[in-house]
Structure 1
Amino acid sequence: LLNLLVEDEFLVRTPDLSGFALGARVAQLAGVTAPPARLPAAARALLADARRAVRGGVHVVLFLDGRVVVLDADPDFPLSDADRLVREPARYALGRMLLVAEGRVPDGAIAADVRRFGVTRQCGEILPTTGCLALPLRDDRGVTVGAVGFSGARHRVDDPSEVIGALEPAVRALAPLVV
């Protein structure tokens, strides 16, 4: 039982291995707005399946206090610049989703993407051959509290239907595990 509680972040082992302390999931239960240090096992499994299905970078972020907080970056396709994502969110699809969630849509193209596809996109603005998109991660009230992002070849973001279709079920299943 202790191993399961540690795996799902309810407990953490003390550095000297002599005992246990309360983990990040307990803080979430108490209503503290700190992201979990690590995704629960079920969420990691869903994310692994999604990454295999889309063959590109799949990242999970939460929006806390008006900031983008990277919860899980794809190790095989890392974020191009996580620090810049936090500093300049409007340059990236994940940050644009934060702006949409806060009602601060900076231009008509972003609003058009949300209306048309339900996602935010960045197509070739940082590197001409790549792009990214972000699907909203919603809590049980329907409030956007984070996003799942895809990064990959620009043509897959220019026409995002395939990627969205592959990621939507994972996003719906992931939401209750991380929010």
Structure 2
Amino acid sequence: ITLVLGGPGSGKGTQSTRLATEFGMAHLSTGELLRQQVASGTELGGQIEGLISRGRLVPDPIVVGVLQAAVKDIVRAGNAGKGILLDGFPRTLAQAKLFEECVGAPRTVVFFDAPPEMLRARLGARGRGDDTEAVIEERLRLHAVETPSVVEFYRQGGVLAGTRAT
């Protein structure tokens, strides 16, 4: 498993798609999986929608449960190829630890580091319905608070690779 981390708008999704294709890996986007839950119209999807629409993080057990099911589906179907690349996860240290308990430790973690001004501009330009100014600011605030401990966790674990956007 390879994890791709970075702030909202840092290019995780774009680059993960390219990396997964180039290296023959299955690609899971945490954001896409959560949006699929919302689109499903289930009670869980409604809970997730309420949180995402306010820029809040979805509770760890829900996110890890959704990811765990998706990883199992890929492995069960024999579609893991040369591995699984997860983008947009984990966002908190608690998620990182819970994921390792439930699924396993990643082989590699890639971190896209970008300044808040760049992220703000990219998010404002992409035109998604949930990218209101208030939601963007909340997402950037959460990223600034939560990401340093996640990055340090993987740096100490010896699996972190990073790149700085300019």
Pick the structure with greater CA Rg: 1
TM-score if structure 2 supplies the norm length? 0.30
Structure with the higher strand share, 1 or 2: 1
